[in-house]
A and B are shown apart, each in its own frame.
Chain A
Amino acid sequence: KNEVEQSPQNLTAQEGEFITINCSYSVGISALHWLQQHPGGGIVSLFMLSSGKKKHGRLIATINIQEKHSSLHITASHPRDSAVYICAVLNRDDKIIFGKGTRLHILP
């Protein structure tokens, strides 16, 4: 079993829908990172979380340390949000472990 699991693996939605991507992990962590990988391949940092909730524009990230779970939400989704979203955790040994990513496709 992978130490970082993301769901769903693939998600197709209509423009305007509310999107939720989930990340569960099985190790103790110092921090959790949400990344966005564009179709062209570049990887961009969205959020770094160690507790609670963060918001940036239409993106919201939450983390529940007790349940070892994080969610990334996108409100009023747009075709330009189409990308692969990657969850990564930093474990107690400062080792970073990546999930396999969630491929999101927003239809106009």
Chain B
Amino acid sequence: NAGVTQTPKFQVLKTGQSMTLQCAQDMNHNSMYWYRQDPGMGLRLIYYSASEGTTDKGEVPNGYNVSRLNKREFSLRLESAAPSQTSVYFCASSWGYEQYFGPGTRLTVT
């Protein structure tokens, strides 16, 4: 099992550009999450999906959209990137209470 995979690992964008971060899990988990991690702050929830076909906003959803394409895949889209979105992005999936994290995507917006 690959667990939770994310692509890309690194990305540099110019302000105003768009991109989609991909996440997939092969553990048959219902719930999936997108977090961002910034220096000096804990992980913050952007969006989550409790099951295929449903998505809900987390703590910091502004500037992002998500798609739960199927049970395996949960993508995060930045329509018009801003420097404030420079961060490390983690995707996670969960079975019960325990969360399993992807390796992260380091995004820089210049």
Contact of A98 among B40, B42, B97 (CB under 8 A): B42
Give the 3 A-B residue pairs with the shortest CB-CB distance, closest first.
Answer: A98-B42, A43-B101, A98-B43
Mask for A82-103, Cβ within 8 A of B = 1, else 0?
Answer: 0000101010000111111100
Given contacts A33-B98, A45-B98, contact A86 B103 (CB under 8 A): no
Nearest A residue to B31 via CB reads A94
Which parts of B72-107 form the interface with A (CB within 8 Å)? 88, 90, 97-101, 103-104, 106
Which of A2, A30, A31, A44 is the one whose CB lies under 8 Å from B101? A44
Residue positions of A touching B, CB distance < 8 A: 2, 4, 30-31, 33, 35, 41-45, 48, 86, 88, 90, 95-101
A3 to B90, CA, bound (A): 21
Contacts of B41 in A (CB 8 A): 100
Size category, B interface: 10 to 19
Q: Chain A residues near B101 (CB, 8 Å)?
A: 35, 42-45
Chain B contact residues, CB within 8 Å of chain A: 40-45, 88, 90, 97-101, 103-104, 106
Residues of B within 8 A of A2 (CB): 42
Report B-chain residues with C-beta under 8 Å of the C-beta of A95. 45
Residues of B near A48 (CB, < 8 A) are: 97-98
Q: Given A41-B103, A42-B104 in contact, is the A31-B97 Cβ separation under 8 Å?
A: yes
Residue on A with the closest CB to B105?
A: A41
A97 and chain B: residue at smallest CB distance: B42
For B98, give the chain A residue with the smallest CB separation: A48
Tell me which of B97, B100, B104 contacts A41 (CB under 8 A).
Answer: B104
Q: How far is the CA of A97 from the CA of B42 in the complex (A)?
A: 9
Contacts of B97 in A (CB 8 A): 30-31, 33, 48, 90
Q: By the criterion CB–CB under 8 Å, are B88 and A41 in contact?
A: yes
5 CB contacts below 8 A, A to B, read A41-B103, A41-B106, A42-B101, A86-B42, A97-B42
